């Protein structure tokens, strides 16, 4: 247990020997937020694509991860790239959890939660920002996205940027396809890309 964990545990009145109860974890998260000790909150969201890990900062949603990415690895990446003050705090992610539920039910066409782009930079960030503007049910080619990101000839680099998208589903890299209509690749697997495109076609 590190110093922050120890302080939070004491602040929450200690945790039971058999492991923390859900109520104790909620109290811990609430106290940590109150004390300004949490920079990154995370939670898990059930979805038709498997359980998603979502994480957010004070600036917005920073990470969505498919289940193949181990939770410990996701949290370690966030601790290294954003802040080591990472805590499970589902209530702080309730807005994006609701939006994801509505999206997968076919009732949401545009995510409105703010995005924290801190895991991206440079050309890759411009690619993802251009991708975020692709409308529900629409598709663009890798070349079109590269052009909208300011480098029309950087098609392969645009594909690499999309392949490392830290916010799949919300930043809809599934809407980017090959010239001629081929699906191309997808970080979550081609079956998930097909599922998302089919969902949006209704």
Which CATH number fits the domain that encloses residue 57?
3.30.160.70
Question: What is the pLDDT, as a whole number, of residue 85?
Answer: 95
Q: State whether 24 and 47 are in the same domain.
A: no
* Exposed / middle / buried, residue 60 (Cβ in 10 Å: 0-12, 13-18, 19+): middle
CATH of the domain at 196: 1.10.10.10
Q: Which of 118, 148, 183 is the last residue of a domain?
A: 118
Q: State whether 193 and 140 are in the same domain.
A: yes
Is residue 181 very low, low, confident or very high in pLDDT (cuts 50, 70, 90)? confident
The rounded distance, in Å, linking the Cα atoms of 147 and 127 is 9
Q: State whether 141 and 157 are in the same domain.
A: yes
Q: State whether 76 and 31 are in the same domain.
A: no
Q: State whether 93 and 75 are in the same domain.
A: yes
**Residue 140 exposure: Cα atoms within 13 Å on the Cβ side:** 23
User: Is residue 100's pLDDT more than 70?
Assistant: yes
For range 162-176, the mean pLDDT: 97
User: Which residue matches tokens 């993802």?
Assistant: 128
Phi, psi dihedrals of residue 180, rounded to the nearest 5°? 95, -10
User: Is residue 31's pLDDT more than 70?
Assistant: no
For range 20-39, the mean pLDDT: 63
User: Is residue 88's pLDDT more than 70?
Assistant: yes
Q: State whether 57 and 89 are in the same domain.
A: yes
Among the options 173, 176, 177, 196, which is catalytic? 173
Q: State whether 64 and 18 are in the same domain.
A: no
**Among 11-25, 73-87, 153-167, which stretch is predicted with the lowest mean pLDDT?**
11-25
Neighbours of 173 (CB within 10 A): 28
Using CA of residue 36, residue 169, residue 106, residue 195, what is the dihedral sign? negative
Question: What is the pLDDT, as a whole number, of residue 71?
Answer: 95
* pTM greater than the 0.85 cutoff: no
Any idea what the Cα angle at residue 134 is, between residues 157 and 110, rounded to 5°?
130
The rounded distance, in Å, linking the Cα atoms of 136 and 200 is 7
Q: Which of 70, 96, 118 is the last residue of a domain?
A: 118
Q: State whether 111 and 136 are in the same domain.
A: no
The rounded distance, in Å, linking the Cα atoms of 118 and 125 is 9
Is the separation of the CB atoms in 166 and 124 below 8 Å?
A: no
Express each pLDDT in 49-75 by its tens digit.
999 999 999 999 999 999 999 999 999
Q: Which two tokens stand for residue 95?
A: 């807005």
Q: Which of 118, 150, 169 is the last residue of a domain?
A: 118
- Share of residues in the chain with pLDDT > 70 (%): 82
Domains in the chain, number: 3
Question: What is the pLDDT, as a whole number, of residue 180?
Answer: 80
Q: State whether 128 and 164 are in the same domain.
A: yes
Is the separation of the CB atoms in 70 and 166 below 8 Å?
A: no
Domain range for 4:
1-37
Q: State whether 190 and 127 are in the same domain.
A: yes
Q: State whether 26 and 56 are in the same domain.
A: no
Catalytic: 173?
yes
Express each pLDDT in 128-162 by its tens digit.
999 999 999 999 999 999 999 999 999 999 999 99
Q: State whether 20 and 90 are in the same domain.
A: no
């Amino acid at each position: 247990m590190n110093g922050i964990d120890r302080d939070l545990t004491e602040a929450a009145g200690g945790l039971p020997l058999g492991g923390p109860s859900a109520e104790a974890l909620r109290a811990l998260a609430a106290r940590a937020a109150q004390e300004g000790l949490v920079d990154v909150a995370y939670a898990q969201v059930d979805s038709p694509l498997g359980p998603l890990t979502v994480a957010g900062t004070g600036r917005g949603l920073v990470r969505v991860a498919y289940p193949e990415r181990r939770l410990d690895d996701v949290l370690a990446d966030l601790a290294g790239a954003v802040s080591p003050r990472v805590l499970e705090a589902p209530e702080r992610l309730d807005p994006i959890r609701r939006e994801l539920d509505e999206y997968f039910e076919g009732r949401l066409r545009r995510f409105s939660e703010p995005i924290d782009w801190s895991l991206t930079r440079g050309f890759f960030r411009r690619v993802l920002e251009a991708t975020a503007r692709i409308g529900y049910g629409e598709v663009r080619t890798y070349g079109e996205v590269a052009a909208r990101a300011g480098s029309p000839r950087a098609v392969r680099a645009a594909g690499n940027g999309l392949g490392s998208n830290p916010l799949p589903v919300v930043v809809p890299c599934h809407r980017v396809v090959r010239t001629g209509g081929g699906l191309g690749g997808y970080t979550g697997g081609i079956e998930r890309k097909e599922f998302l495109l089919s969902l949006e076609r209704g």
